[in-house]
């Protein structure tokens, strides 16, 4: 093989290797159809359930999960603003989030994404806010809907 033929062959081989490498790299950096941090577990479209505040989530920081929604007591008092109800599936990859009373925010145990009590992303990798649900209280009955 002549020198020019060798270099030409080497160039084609190198180009093929680069194409393969770039294809592999683009997969790992692919932000996905939702711009990155997208969930494959969409929030429940409609929920409606009740809690008895005489028996459930009585202390700040306590939570209950039902129908794909996590409700957390974020303050004392049986008024709607003392509670936050959001989708339980993290918008990054769908792990069930927790509520941290010390941080006052929802935290994902998988990759540490954090969300406000309104569901807004504070820290990624999640980029999409949690869906927030309505909370109303009648007597000692709390209703989550939305
Ligand atoms: S699943 Fe990755 S941060 Fe929640």
Ligand 1 centroid to residue 38 C-alpha, Å: 10
Q: Return the bridge partners of 54, or none.
A: none
Residue 43 inside a domain? The answer is: no
- Is pLDDT larger for residue 79 or for residue 3? 79
List the one residue out of 57, 125, 117 whose CA is nearest residue 81: 117
The proportion of the chain whose per-residue pLDDT surpasses 70, expressed as a percent, equals 73
Q: What is the pLDDT of residues 18-68, one digit of tens each?
A: 333 333 333 333 333 344 556 667 888 888 899 999 999 999 999 999 999
CA 30, chain centre distance (Å): 18
Q: Check whether residue 18 and residue 83 sit in a common domain.
A: no
Residue nearest ligand 1's atom 1 by CA: 93
**Could you tell me if 51 and 80 are in contact, meaning their C-beta atoms sit under 8 angstroms apart?**
no
Q: Check whether residue 124 and residue 55 sit in a common domain.
A: yes
Residue nearest ligand 1's atom 3 by CA: 111
Distance CA 102, CA 123 (A): 16
State the total domains in the chain. Answer: 2
Q: Is the CB–ligand 1 distance for residue 38 below 6 Å?
A: no
Token pair 């039902």 in the structure block, residue: 66
Per-residue pLDDT at 43: 86
Q: Check whether residue 53 and residue 22 sit in a common domain.
A: no
Q: Is 48 left (phi over 0), alpha (psi -120 to 50) or beta?
A: beta
Domain hosting residue 88, numbered range? 48-145
Q: What is the pLDDT of residues 91-145, one digit of tens each?
A: 999 999 999 999 999 999 999 999 999 999 999 999 999 999 999 999 999 999 9
- CATH code assigned at 93: 2.102.10.10
Query: Model pTM greater than 0.95?
Result: no
Residue 4 inside a domain? The answer is: yes
Q: Check whether residue 134 and residue 94 sit in a common domain.
A: yes
Q: Is the CB–ligand 1 distance for residue 127 below 6 Å?
A: no
Q: Check whether residue 66 and residue 6 sit in a common domain.
A: no
Q: Check whether residue 137 and residue 94 sit in a common domain.
A: yes
Q: Among the atoms of ligand 1, which is closest to the Cα of residue 125?
A: 3
């Amino acid at each position: 093989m002549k020198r020019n033929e060798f270099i030409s062959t080497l160039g084609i081989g190198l180009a093929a290797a680069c194409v393969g490498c770039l294809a592999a790299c683009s997969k790992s950096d692919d932000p996905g159809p939702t711009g990155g941090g997208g969930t494959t577990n969409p929030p429940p479209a409609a929920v409606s359930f009740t809690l008895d505040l005489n028996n459930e989530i009585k202390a700040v920081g306590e939570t209950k999960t039902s129908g794909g929604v996590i409700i957390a007591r974020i303050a004392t008092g049986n008024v709607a603003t003392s509670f936050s109800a959001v989708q339980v599936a993290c918008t990054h990859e769908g792990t069930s989030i927790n509520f941290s009373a010390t941080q006052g925010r929802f935290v994902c145990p998988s990759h540490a994404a954090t969300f406000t009590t309104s569901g807004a992303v504070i820290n990624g990798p999640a980029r999409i806010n949690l869906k927030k649900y309505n909370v109303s209280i009648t007597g000692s009955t709390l209703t989550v809907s939305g």
